[in-house]
Each structure stands twice: as structure tokens, then as C-alpha cells.
Amino acid sequence: MLEFADAQYTDRKTLFVEVILPLAIAKNYTYRVPFELNNIIEVGKRVVVQFGKSKLYTAIVTAITEHPPEKYEAKYLLEILDDRPVVTDRQLQFWKWLGEYYMCYDGEVMNAALPSALKLASETKIALNKEFEYDRAALHDKEYLIVEALDIQPELTISDISKLLSQKTVMPILKELFEKNIINISEEVSDRYKPRKRTFLTLNPAYQGQDNLKELFGILEKRAPKQADAVLAYIKLARHQKAISKSELIEESGAGAASINSLIEKEVFIAEEKNVSRLYFEEEDLDANFELSDQQQAALVSIKQQFEQKDVVLLHGVTSSGKTQIYIRLIEQMIAQGKQVLYLLPEIALTTHIIERLRQYFGSSIGVYHSRFNDNERVEVWQKVLNNEYKVVLGARSSVFLPFVDLGLIIVDEEHETSYKQFDPAPRYNARDAAIFLANMHQGKVLLGSATPSFESYFNARTHKYGLAELTERYGGVHLPVIEVVSIAEETKKKTIQSHFTSVLMTDIQQALTNKEQVILFQNRRGYAPVLLCRICAYTPKCINCDVSLTYHKHSGKLHCHYCGYKEDTPSICPACGSTHLEYRGFGTEKVEDELTLLLPDARITRMDLDTTRSRNSLQNILNDLEEKKIDILVGTQMVAKGLDFAGVTVIGIINADSLLKYPDYRANERSYQLLAQVSGRAGRRGKQGKVVIQTYDPAHRVIKQVIENDYSDLYFTEMEERRGFHYPPFYRIINLDVKHKNSDILYNQATYLSNELRKHFGEERVVGPQVPLVSRIRNYYIQSIMLKFEKDGVSINKVKTTIRDIITQFQTTKLSKGSIVQPDVDPY
């Protein structure tokens, strides 16, 4: 098939390459290298190969050998796409580890790791980059042909182009066009990240002197009194705050938007659009030259000392304690040593202006890697990391796949965040855990930061596997909120409780309203009442699909299933016995909102839960209203816990903590703790000390105590374990198995089978589960976890992993688990 000019190649060895194909297949494949490419073939370069009858794929070379395969004739690889490797040896090693650890195929790891523009395949879609201007005359004939064809038909596949040029090797041409920014490769028509903008106003310096202002007033007062009001309001506001937004000024001055616009037109005000963010992820106000507080300084020193002995340090710092400043100091030191730093953030936190803040510090040496950036940008970051041009990368979980050359430090901010875990598709990796392995490969260090660390990390810190540094004070002297626990039982007895609101909470709410401050009330259940109960026969309507009790929603007047979305009309008589004595039991956000409206008719109350934020902009609208103080009290589910930052919120009320506390397993304890602590952290952040009221029937509950004391040393105990007789923390080695299948029955059998097998191997008492997080039922498959616990000096983790692997292989061959995927999610050491 190939012709060679005989003498041209001095090196006539026949070479073969092992490649990874971007497919979910078990094996790696071998291709033959054409002689003329012998000199340039290299591990880590991309090659184009034919796989199957007609499909072309981009594959990564993982090994070069001289041994021809024995059982078949290898096909020739068609092209080499790169002048130098795009994937480093270390990355290949990392991929291999990740694939084994999370039990998936190499090809799946490759798919997750490489930006799609680096993975041209015959079905890859090509389109023109409309945002880029260039000189068409400068294009080569073939490039011109492609561009013209794309004018007529906006999207072509690589095989289309192959036909168009009637030649097979089109990928190098496309690669060239991509690098010239002329085309886009397989860009998903996804909503790209748009930062939220707001208009800020500043007074034109020309009017800033006393005299100038007087003159301006003179003119405005006569001709446009509204505009004069606006300028006056501006001056008033400017006394207390640095940045003044247009909407604030409109509200303060009472002048319409039109007046303000005409002032902008007259250049009295200078308008400037700025990105703003309402999501709060430890992005304290950073002054250009900040000084660390004594406590921060001590933490920094402690972290550095611990890094001498430990690879991972957990920085446990309360909300607003200034973790970011510590990160910056550490990053500076790494850069000074010429090493790279990866700063991982959960997806949502990246949309904030923390990026801008860090750019101020690290200028052009900082790169941002985010799944919502387009592929051109992603490939650019990839190349710059590979060239060691970017010293710092700020990124979401997928940035652990970047080709770092010399990684000195990985910071995992908000370490507990579940968005570090990829659930679907494979590889179902946790970027925090992968980061620990990655850093280890580079002999780098990892700093995990969180105000509410995950149990795994906290446990590892307490058992001295990780180092631990703590920040217990807020930065800038603002005190942590006061937490008051109120017994619902007691207030009920004293009859001081009104509906669901204790006298303590009511007093605090009223105080806040008087001070024109805002309140967030947290009730972790949406709808009006979670159970409808017949008082005569105890019948409760259940979902026909999920067998859980239906929640009454007053808004729709129907009963809803919160798992599958099933709805039915609310019966007025009991379907079982015909009685009319139907009773609503329990309460959700709707009821809280309802009853609060009755008690505080003048307060502006809004509800924020899945039901009120389902439509496109409703979440944004609620957040805007809250920010602009159009809302006094926000009633919400756990949505309010995630990083909402509003200066005006001083009181947080947890309506009923018990619904969070009654679950038996330790994961639920962790979640409850985190939710309570996160919600509490929203109170009074800027300047004013906040107040948190926790209402509960069980004021002595351990989790509540931990929240108050900001310590979770004992959370590993759970009620259930106590009942079963565990009186000291068992030495947990937790294996979460994500068992996924579209057919839940088969799945349940698998998980049960697996845990039974594990019981046989490791003993009855060590295996907990399978546990099904119910949320995932919505998508019609389950992700289950099986937890193994070992007391000290128990079985080694490797033994456990090997056993699991054996069991899985077994039941894959017995066809019990056809189509299922079982992945362990264990601590990477």
C-alpha cells in the first residue's frame, strides 16, 4: 500500500506503535509505522489511524516497539499530527493510574483528558470561526476550498471534507486552519459562560471640585431637577462606598433611569460595566498589597513546616477567614522557585471574578481552564501549560489533565465540594483525589482548603496522614456569627412558639427588619406538606413509581413525587376508607412562607427552592432582588447554603434542624454538618456580626454541638453505630462504589451481590450498604455506595481493591451485570 524510495531511509527498522483510541474498548491497539515516519514517531504524539472499516480516529502513542504482533497483521498508521508530543509521559502514567483506580478504559480517560479539538475523528464537526477575521487571499488552495464550502454549509464533518478534497489525509490541513483560528472544531452549541455585568458610575473628574459642582448644580437645578437629585444622591452614597451601581443610584435618588442616562450622555457620570458575582467562595476583598493577619501568618508557617514531612495539608478555616491570601503567598513562593501551581475550584466558583483578582497578582502567567471555555481557548491553555508559559492554572476538575511540566503545588479550594466528582460519563473521578496522586507524581504538595472539610480529609488529617492547619477567626476583625440553639419542645410547652417560629427567631427577624437588614430562613424540604395522612385508617398516598409518600404542593394543589416528578390530584376523601379526615403532616418551604406572611404581613418574603427557580431567569431574578434589597426574608431549601453572599443578610434561621439530623449513616451526618455550617456562614459577613438561630427538638444533638464548636472530631460516630455497640470510631476505609445501571432491579441485585461477596471476604460487620442516594433515582439509574470499615490494623486497602476487582470480573463473566459499571472511589493512598 505504501511506496518507498529505497535508499532514502537509513533506518530500515520496522516499527510498531501501541496507541490509545478515544473509545470505550478494553484493549490497546498496535499499528505499523511507515518507514518515512520512523524518525519522527514519538510516545505522546497524536497519530491518525483507521479503526474498523472506515473510521479514522486520533490516537495517542503510548509505546514504540520493534515486535510485530503475532496473531494479526497491523495496519499502518496514517499520519503523525504533532511535531512534538502533546501528552507527556507523566500524563500517560497518570491516565493509567486513573483508569485502573476508577475502573474504566484508557480511551475513556483520554476522552476526558484531551480537549476535543485535539481529537479529530472522521465524524468530528468543523465550522467557521465567525469571531475571527483574516485575509482569505492568503489561504492555500485547499484551505480556500474548505472555507468556501463552509460558507455554503455551515457544518461539515471530516469525512465530508475528505470527499471534498478527494484525499484521505485532511487532518493536517484542518489542524493548520484551527491553529490559524479560522475554524472551530466540534464546538458544542452550549451556552458559553457569560459573566454577570452591572453598570457602575463615577463622577466625571471635571466636576469633582467644589466650584465645579456648584456650577453643575446651578445648571441642573433649573433645567433638570431630577438630574440634580441624582447627582446629590451620588455624592451622598460616595461618602460611604467606593463603587456605586446604576441601580443603587436610581433607588437612592428617586430619579428615573432616563435622568441617569442623560447624565451619562452629558458625561457628568462615567459609566463602566463590571463583572460582578454573587457567589461567595472565599474570595475576600483582596487589596493589592495585603498583609496577613497574625493567625494567617501562623497558618502559613505551619503549612510550610508540615509540607516538609507531609504531602497533603488540610487548611480548615472558617468562612471569611482569608484562605485565599494564604494561597496567594504560597503560589508566589512556588513561582519564585520556577514551579507550576494548579488551583482547583469547583465549577460554579470559577464564574466569579476571583479570576480577575488572581490575574492582578500573577498577570499573564495565569491560565484559566474551564469546561465552558471553547476549544480554541482550551487548546491554547494546554499548549501554554506544556510550554511552561503558564505558571498558575486556575481550573475546574478537568484541569488535573493538563500537561504540567513541573507541578510544585496543587490547591484544592472548597475541598469538600461534590462537584469535584465526575458522575457521568466515565471516568468517574474525583479531581481532589486525582490531584493528590498527580502532585505525588511531580513530587509536589497539595493544600486542601475548606471551611467545612469532607470527612475523608478531616479524618486523614486527624490520623496524621495529612497535615492540618486551622484558621478560627474571620479576616478583618469581623466576628463569627452568634449561634443560638432553641428548643422547639420547650417553646411549645411555654406556648411562645407561633406556627413554626420560636420567640427567639421572631425577635431576631423583627430586629433585622427594623434595621433594614435581611433574613434567610432555611427549611430543607420543598412543597407544603411532605405527607398526607388519613386520620381514620392511616392511609398515605404514595408515588406509583417510587413508593415514597407524595408531597402536597399548595401552589399546584397537587401531590408531587420529589423523586420522579409524578403528580396526582389531591384527594378530598381518603381513597382507602372514604373518610374526610385527611391531615397534612410536616411542613416545607411553601408552608413556612405562607405562615410567615400571615405573621409578618408587611415583610417582603420570597421563596427560593426548586419550584420557584425552575424557569430560566427566576434564580437570577431572586438573587437580583435580594441584592437590591427588594426582599426582606428569603425562605429556601439547601439552595441558600451554597455560597450566596449578601452583605445585608444578618440573620439566618434554621426552621427545623431535625429533618437533617435523623439519618443514620455517617455521610448524612457529614452533609448535615456541612449544610448547617454553610448556611450559618451566610450570616453577617461584611462588617456586621450575624446571628444564627437553630430551631430543633434535640438541642443536645451531636451535630449541632459540632456546628457551634466548629469541630467535627466526633462525627464519625453515628446514632446507629452507637446502638449497634460501636463505642469508639471504627477505622473507616470507605469504598464508595458507584454502581450504575439503567435498569434499577438488575442494579440492586448487583450491588447486593457485591456487598454479600464482600461480606464473605471481610466479615459481616465490616460492610455497610448498599446505600442508595435517592436523588439519583430521578435519572432512572442509581449510584450506590458500599462502605467498608476496618478497625485499626485491619485489611489493607489493596487487598480490598483486588477483591472487589475479582468479584466484578466474576460477575461480568456470569453476565449478571451486563452493561453495568462499577467503580471504586477510595482514598488514593
Partner DNA sequence: AGCACGCCGACT
Partner DNA sequence: GTCGGCGTGCTC
> What single letter denotes the amino acid at residue 472?
T
Q: What are phi and psi of 692, to 5 degrees?
A: -120, 130
* Cα gap 177→138, rounded to integer Å: 12
| In the complex, minimum distance from the CB of residue 53 to DNA, in angstroms, rounded to a whole number | 5
Helix or strand holding residue 625 (H, E): helix 618-627
Contact of 478 with 689, CB cutoff 8 Å: yes
Question: Site mask, DNA, residues 326-355, x = CB under 7 A?
Answer: ------------------------------
Show the cell assigned to 356: 480577575
| In the complex, minimum distance from the CB of residue 75 to DNA, in angstroms, rounded to a whole number | 3
Instruction: Find the binder of DNA among 42, 43, 55, 496 (CB under 7 A).
Output: 55
564 annotated as a binding-site residue: yes
Nearer to DNA, 58 or 340 (CB): 58
Nearer to DNA, 124 or 399 (CB): 124
Per CB under 7 A, 123 contacts DNA: yes
Give the distance from CA 558 to its chain's centroid: 33
Question: Other C-beta atoms within 10 Å of 253: how many?
Answer: 21
Binders of DNA among residues 11 to 30 (CB under 7 A) are 23-25, 27, 29-30
* Cα gap 802→753, rounded to integer Å: 17
543 annotated as a binding-site residue: yes
Residue 468: beta bridge partners? 314
Give the distance from CA 640 to its chain's centroid: 16
Of residues 113, 108, 106, 114, the one with CA closest to residue 81: 114
104 annotated as a binding-site residue: no
577 annotated as a binding-site residue: yes
Nearer to DNA, 104 or 260 (CB): 104
Q: Helix axis angle, 431-441 relative to 89-101, nearest 10°?
A: 140
| In the complex, minimum distance from the CB of residue 751 to DNA, in angstroms, rounded to a whole number | 21
Per CB under 7 A, 601 contacts DNA: no
Give the distance from CA 247 to its chain's centroid: 31
| In the complex, minimum distance from the CB of residue 69 to DNA, in angstroms, rounded to a whole number | 6
Whole-Å CA distances, 324 to 393, 758, 786, 820 = 15, 43, 35, 41
Of residues 338, 341, 389, 352, the one with CA closest to residue 276: 352
| In the complex, minimum distance from the CB of residue 431 to DNA, in angstroms, rounded to a whole number | 22
Nearer to DNA, 105 or 401 (CB): 105
Per CB under 7 A, 36 contacts DNA: no
Question: Site mask, DNA, residues 770-809, x = CB under 7 A?
Answer: ----------------------------------------
By CB under 7 A, how many residues form the interface with DNA? Answer: 21
* Cα gap 543→554, rounded to integer Å: 18
| In the complex, minimum distance from the CB of residue 71 to DNA, in angstroms, rounded to a whole number | 7
Whole-Å CA distances, 547 to 540, 542, 551, 571, 727 = 11, 5, 12, 18, 35
> What single letter denotes the amino acid at residue 63?
A
| In the complex, minimum distance from the CB of residue 30 to DNA, in angstroms, rounded to a whole number | 4
Question: Site mask, DNA, residues 222-241, x = CB under 7 A?
Answer: --------------------
Alpha carbon distance, N-terminus to C-terminus of the chain: 50
Nearer to DNA, 463 or 812 (CB): 812
Binders of DNA among residues 64 to 103 (CB under 7 A) are 69, 72, 74-75
| In the complex, minimum distance from the CB of residue 102 to DNA, in angstroms, rounded to a whole number | 15
Q: Quick check: bond before 154 cis, omega within 30?
A: no
Nearer to DNA, 51 or 782 (CB): 51
Instruction: Find the binder of DNA among 15, 20, 31, 47 (CB under 7 A).
Output: 31
Instruction: Find the binder of DNA among 20, 45, 47, 51 (CB under 7 A).
Output: 51
Nearer to DNA, 679 or 808 (CB): 808
| In the complex, minimum distance from the CB of residue 74 to DNA, in angstroms, rounded to a whole number | 4
- The piece of 52-60, 232-240, 505-513, 633-641 that touches DNA (CB under 7 A) is 52-60
Contact of 284 with 328, CB cutoff 8 Å: no
Of residues 450, 448, 451, 442, the one with CA closest to residue 465: 448
| In the complex, minimum distance from the CB of residue 46 to DNA, in angstroms, rounded to a whole number | 16
| In the complex, minimum distance from the CB of residue 25 to DNA, in angstroms, rounded to a whole number | 5
Give the distance from CA 591 to its chain's centroid: 31
Instruction: Find the binder of DNA among 13, 53, 84, 495 (CB under 7 A).
Output: 53
Show the cell assigned to 590: 411553601
Per CB under 7 A, 157 contacts DNA: no
* Cα gap 115→106, rounded to integer Å: 16
Nearer to DNA, 567 or 818 (CB): 818
Nearer to DNA, 276 or 746 (CB): 746
Per CB under 7 A, 718 contacts DNA: no
Q: Quick check: bond before 770 cis, omega within 30?
A: yes
Helix or strand holding residue 155 (H, E): strand 155-157
Cα dihedral 330, 467, 702, 497 in deg (nearest 10): -10
Nearer to DNA, 63 or 206 (CB): 63
Binders of DNA among residues 806 to 825 (CB under 7 A) are 818
Residues with Cβ within 8 Å of residue 759, at least 6 apart in sequence: 766, 767
Show the cell assigned to 412: 484544592
Show the cell assigned to 151: 460558507
Per CB under 7 A, 50 contacts DNA: yes
| In the complex, minimum distance from the CB of residue 318 to DNA, in angstroms, rounded to a whole number | 45
Nearer to DNA, 464 or 742 (CB): 742
Annotated binding site for Zn(2+): 534, 537, 543, 546, 561, 564, 574, 577
Residues that bind DNA (CB under 7 A): 23-25, 27, 29-32, 49-55, 69, 72, 74-75, 123, 818
